[in-house]
Amino acid sequence: MIRIILFLVFTTFGFSQNYYLYVAAESDDTVSLIKFDGKSATELERIPVGIKFAETEGPHGLTVDPSGEYWYLSLAHGNPYGTLTKFSTQTNTEIATTELGYFPATMEISSLTGLLYCVNFKLYGTMTPSSVSVVDPQTMTEITKIPTGVMPHGSRISPDGRFQYSVAMMSGELYEVDTVSLEVNRVLQLDNNHHMNHQGMNHQDMDHQGMNHQEMHHSTTQPTWVIPHPSDSKVYIAGNSSNEIIEVDTDSWEIINRFKTGKGPYNIDITSDGKKLVTTLKGEGKTEIKNLKTGKSKIVDNTTKVSHGVVISPDNKYAFVTVEGIGGEPGVLDVIDIGKAKLVSSVKIGKQAGGIAFWKLEQ
């Protein structure tokens, strides 16, 4: 009888949890505010973020500041530099904008310095080293550009806020930036074979003009993401071309493991207890959930093709995955129950859903 009463009480008055996220649609110049109530995800608002209607500026990276009061968006294309824009989470209106480098992409704010670190992906013509822009979000001033590798991506900050990690997709490197001194602290080559390996490369698509072939290293790994472990001295890297997750010990600064994945691992997030790693498999339209303790993985099919971003809810229950789609297909946000490894909800948004940031969890 008591059990029945308790069941009725919980089902009648039980707390529901609402999860709120921002998701960017790169080919529609929109950002969607999404609410997931534990059962279904809905698009609360579609926010236009473009500058010129007839041009596609390409909203790419998103992050919410630690206070939850503001969200930040990188627009890949400008005249010619991309921009970083600060929005209010209360009104979803623009507060300030600053110019960054070529194709500013992923970013995060350090809880230690309060500064925002955004990689300039530079997906343009000749492949040359790019940089990490450091921005003071209070004044929205770009303080400095820290030179890093070719096509840097996946800017993530260590849990103590002390280091910023990014990977250079085409030079195959892991960069550790000191968030205080604003200098590169360490660089680690991620390719198995450090010598030039031309396997799997389409040289017709590459511009060799102006390259120093003695110095230029063509990555076979093509890393696209890095995420620090929440408690261990490790970072995990998505090897987009090598189809693997690379585990790096940040104490010894060496690769300690390589886990094979499905095709085209792209973005990664890790549960706050450090137990599970969730990776989007861009080449398969799937999401992989890996138990770091057992090493076992489960695969979840995404709604459409070209899986892109992933963020895990603070309670570690759900992974929110963006799926770009192809051509005129709408972008999709998939909600995956991590424990059950099951797709539980999807919502269509603008085309080429990519950047994603978790805003808040409300009881």
Q: Which residues bind other proteins (CB under 8 A)?
A: 26-30, 46, 48-56, 77-81, 94, 98-99, 103, 111-115, 123-126, 136, 138-139, 141-145, 160-162, 178, 180-182, 204-207, 305-306, 324-329, 351-352
Taking the complex as a whole, the smallest distance from the CB of residue 55 to other proteins amounts, in Å, to 7
197-205, Cβ contacts within 8 angstroms, sequence gap of 24 or more: 200/241
Q: Which residue, 228, 239, 246, is CA-closest to 263?
A: 239
Taking the complex as a whole, the smallest distance from the CB of residue 115 to other proteins amounts, in Å, to 8
Please identify, using beta-carbon distances, which residue of 112 and 341 lies nearer to other proteins. Answer: 112
Please identify, using beta-carbon distances, which residue of 34 and 115 lies nearer to other proteins. Answer: 115
Taking the complex as a whole, the smallest distance from the CB of residue 208 to other proteins amounts, in Å, to 10
Taking the complex as a whole, the smallest distance from the CB of residue 67 to other proteins amounts, in Å, to 8
Q: What share of the chain is helix, strand, coil (3-state, %, to 5)?
A: 5, 50, 45
Cβ-contact 24, 73 below 8 angstroms:
yes
Taking the complex as a whole, the smallest distance from the CB of residue 226 to other proteins amounts, in Å, to 20
Omega before residue 80 within 30° of 0, cis = yes
Taking the complex as a whole, the smallest distance from the CB of residue 227 to other proteins amounts, in Å, to 20
Please identify, using beta-carbon distances, which residue of 29 and 334 lies nearer to other proteins. Answer: 29
Please identify, using beta-carbon distances, which residue of 247 and 284 lies nearer to other proteins. Answer: 284
Please identify, using beta-carbon distances, which residue of 78 and 152 lies nearer to other proteins. Answer: 78
Please identify, using beta-carbon distances, which residue of 170 and 300 lies nearer to other proteins. Answer: 170
Cβ-contact 146, 183 below 8 angstroms:
yes
Exposure string for 159-196, b = 16+ CB within 10 A, e = fewer: eebbbbbbbbbbbbbbbbbebeebebeeebbbbeeeee
CA separation for the pair 347, 240 (Å, rounded): 26
Taking the complex as a whole, the smallest distance from the CB of residue 181 to other proteins amounts, in Å, to 5
Q: What is the DSSP string of 39-65?
A: S-EEEEEEEE--S-TTS---EEEEEE-
Residue type, 112: L
Q: What does the DSSP 8-state code read for residue 140?
A: T
Please identify, using beta-carbon distances, which residue of 63 and 345 lies nearer to other proteins. Answer: 63
**DSSP H or E run through 136:** strand 129-136
Cβ-contact 117, 105 below 8 angstroms:
no
